[in-house]
Structure 1
Amino acid sequence: MDIYKDFKFKDDETPKYVQIANFIKDLIDKRKIKEGDKLETIRELSKKLGVNNVTIVSAYNKLKAEGYAYQKVGSGSYAKRKEVASNFRREYSNTLKKLSMEDLTDVVDFTGETSKEVLFPINDLKHIINEVLERDGANALFSDNRNGYTNLIDTINKAFWDYKLNNEDILIVSGAQQGIDIVSKGILNINDNIIVEKPTYVGALSVFKWRKVNLFEMPIEDDGINLDKFEKILQKNEIKCFYTMSYFQNPTGISYSLEKKKRILDLAEIYDFYIIEDDYLSELIYESSLEYIPFKLLDKNDRVIYIKSFSKIFLPGIRLGYLIAPTIFRETLQNSKHNTDITTSSLMQRALELYISDNKWKKNIKNLNDEYIKRYTLMKSLLDKEFKDILTYIDPKGGLNFYLTLNEDFRVNTRELFIRLRKKDVYITPGAMFFTSQNDGQDSFRLAFYQTDKKKIKKGMKILKEELISAKLYNESKLDN
């Protein structure tokens, strides 16, 4: 049956591509086109509806931008029921908001998103802020530079880059999320093509979808993206940016090999695209085999937009970070920042500058590493001993989480697993949260140890194993019946 036989263009000013997109959305909502069904090729549909190929391309781009379709490289476009994705995301978000307002004494938060546990020495913060106020007086509340506190910018350049950068290229931002948003607003236009890792950070996906860009997802391996598939996309499409998390990628925890970094930088020059490097956890390296060499440090051709967050390692809830802009984008990104919130808290910038310049930074990083490596080691040990027949994972060797994939015998939709565990006060992040399509990531989930001590890790992992075994037995009983 031809599902397009009843389609007719309206005699109004609505563009044809919008009318086609709205008709297809209605078919998806009414389940006449099912979740995951392949949409007709551009050539087939243009012939069927009597329009040119560009009209169908625009209609499909609109569907993708509004969450009703997704693209598989080299295969075509596929339908996605928007409410499936949005309803669960909303439920997940509302659950965490409610959780953050409750007593978490008996709760095991493997999402890492409640921020109830703070491993920063609060007395140090009090001392630093008092010292800043005594030193600078009322000036501590005012910024001397729209791009950030001048002394902080210089201290960042000295402490982390050994003065290899120009201070003018450093822009202080209110955390990594704002950095991604500023870059997106500054250099991305509707229907620009960008490549993201698959899976990737949900906050970045949200920003890019708002900009209505075309997303190409690139499978991630144990040392970075698949370069053969990456270059094929570059050959066939004009790519504006590649968004990557070079260390302890969220959610997979993988870090890029030096070889892949160098090759991606070469490809950026060959195919004229820019790399957005989101470096949010590179301080938390637990094994000496992992060396800290970000894309930006290798960047000879000014191709990397580097974003660094201090939120996880300075103080959760105080949003601070910085962005390094290539010269070509410097003014554009500065204007994008100023249009967003004019300036970031001057007092906290001055406090961060003193924290770094007095070397308290290094002491706290050591304390964080000492604590988190204990949790990492415990969770890894439990996974290896108690879950070896249940799931697989790539050892992150640092960071704050593990990304787990269920084996065939224990395959259960992890959105359902989230709901089952929630009833027992254990909270995980289902893999589907990190993909553009809810068809992906159904057998995976992330376990973060950021908000769990060793006692809660043991408790939560015990309950997790019980629920997975219970789900397996339930699935087997359904098959028997």
Structure 2
Amino acid sequence: MNNIFKMFFEEEIPKYIQISNHIKKLIDNKKINDGEKLPTIRELSKILEVNNVTIVNAYKKLKSDGYAFQKVGSGTYAKRKDLISVFNREYSKTLKSILTEDLDKIIDFTGETNTEMYFPIKEFKNVINKVLDRDGANALIMKEPFGYEELRRTINKELWGGKLDLDNIIIVSGAQQGIDIAVKAIVNINDNVVVEKPTYGGAISVFKWRRANIFELEIKEDGIDLEEFEEILKKNKISCFYTMSYFHNPTGVSYSYEKKLKLLALARKYDFYIIEDDYLSELIYDDGIIHEPLKELDKYERVIYVKSFSKVFLPGIRLGYMIIPNSFIESMQNSKINTDFATSSLMQRALELYIKEGFWKEHIQYQCKEYKTKYELMKNLIEEKLFDKVTYLDPKGGLYFYIKLKNKEVKSKELFYKLKKKNVYITPGIIFFRDSKNGDYFFRISFSQVNKEKIIKGINLIKEELI
């Protein structure tokens, strides 16, 4: 195998880039198999007669370009990029096509947001009219780069009990922008970051754009294994850890109270920050789960909290907020200004009044009641119809179930194509992993965009394909 790595160097191009490009070609041409272990840094430096630092930089570039992944304590492994990216593009195209189809004829188990039937259009329309009557043109033209001050004040009072300073709250255009702002402020090129495995692809994209080194930790029933995490922390300087502490996407896992406290203690001990993406924490269906985000427990100023209103309110308003530690106020405010100067003034004012007048809490209570009914129906059907074909972890909240196939002869991507022919759409696990092999036997089904009749029909069709 050593012979395939032999190459001639060009003077004009840095050696580490030439080595990286050469290995990419070997992976693309299948001379190096997907998942095959690459030579150690010392081995390859001897083969190519270059120093160790050159190979380190070459492997870092391979990882940042998506052609390699690292296993802690094991080494660097090849990854054929097209295995994931081609299907991801196809899946994305499929989701877009759903929007143009007759929705009555399809069963969409891919949804991640509130369905229109649960949106309180009458109340929100009245709130907008009140804002326009009260503020006139200012509701449309006023720009406040860090967010409408009354909205920040209302978020602080109504959602956080007045514990925060307004300077610590920034209004953003959804969670993705919040993650981007946070990462720009705390992660530099070649910094080390830790994420859950699997995780939200949008966060991975931001870390890759910053050319960070990404460590993955498999998520367990109550969060990542903190002993494994600490082993990474002992050997590597970590800048941040990205997490969804409630109803993790896609697994539905919520962190235990004890694990949250230990995680915060580790952040203080090893001097890293936690980006907490509060995804769906309002949608709790079990009295045993207490709503207490990491930020609520954060005594050490280690948590950057990101919250979107899109998932549980209205996707179209594109609003969310961040709570940032004092040490990052200036850098994240600057990052927000550089990203966009202001978020929609009218929507901010309408949301502020909607929360202040108590509609927000009423809306969440209503949604919890409605979604709990569908959650219980889907859970019962999975246990009744699919019990011998799959396993799953009961999320006890959120909008979806994460399913593992028992039969290793069936892969979730194949199941996706079979169900698509029957107008049933699921989300294969490959979407949430950097390495496609890890997602082969998982898929996610959401109940947010389907009624009870479609849930019943959809689960029965899944059963037919798994027989």
TM range (shorter): over 0.9
Equivalence map 1:21-36=2 (5 Å): 21-36=20-35
Equivalence map 1:267-416=2 (5 Å): 267-407=266-406, 409=407, 411-416=409-414
In 2, the alpha carbon distance for the partners of 1:171 and 1:16 equals: 43
Tell me the equivalent position of 2:18.
Answer: 19
In 2, the alpha carbon distance for the partners of 1:94 and 1:177 equals: 20
Tell me the equivalent position of 2:437.
Answer: 439
In 2, the alpha carbon distance for the partners of 1:143 and 1:439 equals: 50
Asked if the contact 1:280/1:310 (under 8 Å) is kept, the reply is: no
C-alpha deviation, 1:439, in angstroms? 1.7
Report the residue type matching 1:281 in the other structure.
Answer: L
In 2, the alpha carbon distance for the partners of 1:256 and 1:5 equals: 45
In 2, the alpha carbon distance for the partners of 1:441 and 1:5 equals: 30
Tell me the equivalent position of 1:98.
Answer: 97
Equivalence map 1:164-313=2 (5 Å): 164-313=163-312
In 1, the alpha carbon distance for the partners of 2:386 and 2:274 equals: 37
> Which of 461, 464, 467 matches 2:462?
464
Tell me the equivalent position of 1:417.
Answer: 415
C-alpha deviation, 1:87, in angstroms? 0.4
Tell me the equivalent position of 1:474.
Answer: none
Tell me the equivalent position of 2:142.
Answer: 143
Tell me the equivalent position of 1:478.
Answer: none
Report the residue type matching 1:19 in the other structure.
Answer: Q
In 2, the alpha carbon distance for the partners of 1:351 and 1:246 equals: 28
Asked if the contact 2:107/2:425 (under 8 Å) is kept, the reply is: yes
Summarize deviations over 1:297-341 as a string: whole Å, max 9, x none. 111110000001111222122111000111111111111111111
In 2, the alpha carbon distance for the partners of 1:139 and 1:153 equals: 17
Count of residues in Structure 1 that have an aligned counterpart in Structure 2: 467
Report the residue type matching 2:416 in the other structure.
Answer: F
Tell me the equivalent position of 1:2.
Answer: 2
Tell me the equivalent position of 2:61.
Answer: 62
In 1, the alpha carbon distance for the partners of 2:8 and 2:128 equals: 66
In 1, the alpha carbon distance for the partners of 2:193 and 2:322 equals: 19
Asked if the contact 1:147/1:343 (under 8 Å) is kept, the reply is: yes
In 1, the alpha carbon distance for the partners of 2:409 and 2:337 equals: 48
In 2, the alpha carbon distance for the partners of 1:300 and 1:371 equals: 35
Structure 1 spans left out of the alignment, 5+ residues? 470-481
Secondary structure at 1:46 match in 2: helix
In 1, the alpha carbon distance for the partners of 2:398 and 2:112 equals: 15
Asked if the contact 2:242/2:274 (under 8 Å) is kept, the reply is: yes
User: How has the CA–CA distance of structure 1 residues 114 and 101 changed in structure 2, closer, same or farther, with 3 Å as cutoff?
Assistant: farther
C-alpha deviation, 1:411, in angstroms? 4.0
User: How has the CA–CA distance of structure 1 residues 314 and 117 changed in structure 2, closer, same or farther, with 3 Å as cutoff?
Assistant: closer
Structure 2 spans left out of the alignment, 5+ residues? none
Secondary structure at 1:159 match in 2: helix
Secondary structure at 2:178 match in 1: helix
Report the residue type matching 2:454 in the other structure.
Answer: K
Q: Tell me whether 47-56 or 354-363 shows the greater mean CA deviation.
A: 47-56
In 2, the alpha carbon distance for the partners of 1:181 and 1:170 equals: 16
Summarize deviations over 1:214-244 as a string: whole Å, max 9, x none. 1100111111101111100001111000000
In 2, the alpha carbon distance for the partners of 1:154 and 1:101 equals: 40
In 2, the alpha carbon distance for the partners of 1:465 and 1:251 equals: 21
In 2, the alpha carbon distance for the partners of 1:195 and 1:351 equals: 37
C-alpha deviation, 1:102, in angstroms? 2.0
C-alpha deviation, 1:43, in angstroms? 1.1
C-alpha deviation, 1:101, in angstroms? 2.1
Asked if the contact 1:144/1:150 (under 8 Å) is kept, the reply is: no
TM-score (norm 1): 0.95
In 1, the alpha carbon distance for the partners of 2:105 and 2:205 equals: 32
Q: Are residues 1:129 and 2:128 paired?
A: yes
In 2, the alpha carbon distance for the partners of 1:410 and 1:191 equals: 37
In 2, the alpha carbon distance for the partners of 1:332 and 1:127 equals: 38
In 2, the alpha carbon distance for the partners of 1:118 and 1:132 equals: 24
C-alpha deviation, 1:187, in angstroms? 2.2
Tell me the equivalent position of 2:41.
Answer: 42
Tell me the equivalent position of 1:159.
Answer: 158
Asked if the contact 2:248/2:279 (under 8 Å) is kept, the reply is: no
In 1, the alpha carbon distance for the partners of 2:208 and 2:451 equals: 35
In 1, the alpha carbon distance for the partners of 2:237 and 2:141 equals: 43
Asked if the contact 1:25/1:63 (under 8 Å) is kept, the reply is: yes
Asked if the contact 1:112/1:448 (under 8 Å) is kept, the reply is: yes
C-alpha deviation, 1:59, in angstroms? 0.5
Report the residue type matching 2:453 in the other structure.
Answer: K
In 1, the alpha carbon distance for the partners of 2:318 and 2:99 equals: 18
Report the residue type matching 2:164 in the other structure.
Answer: L
In 1, the alpha carbon distance for the partners of 2:279 and 2:447 equals: 16
C-alpha deviation, 1:410, in angstroms? 5.4
Summarize deviations over 1:103-144 as a string: whole Å, max 9, x none. 211111111058764411111111111110001101111335
Asked if the contact 1:201/1:250 (under 8 Å) is kept, the reply is: yes
Asked if the contact 2:112/2:311 (under 8 Å) is kept, the reply is: no
In 2, the alpha carbon distance for the partners of 1:251 and 1:205 equals: 14
TM-score (norm 2): 0.98
Secondary structure at 1:105 match in 2: helix
User: How has the CA–CA distance of structure 1 residues 197 and 318 changed in structure 2, closer, same or farther, with 3 Å as cutoff?
Assistant: same
Report the residue type matching 1:89 in the other structure.
Answer: N
Report the residue type matching 2:15 in the other structure.
Answer: K
Asked if the contact 2:170/2:323 (under 8 Å) is kept, the reply is: yes
In 1, the alpha carbon distance for the partners of 2:339 and 2:252 equals: 30
Secondary structure at 2:138 match in 1: helix
In 2, the alpha carbon distance for the partners of 1:410 and 1:461 equals: 20
Secondary structure at 2:202 match in 1: helix
C-alpha deviation, 1:261, in angstroms? 0.5
Summarize deviations over 1:359-393 as a string: whole Å, max 9, x none. 00111111111110011000000111111111111
Secondary structure at 1:171 match in 2: strand
Report the residue type matching 1:9 in the other structure.
Answer: F
Secondary structure at 1:301 match in 2: coil
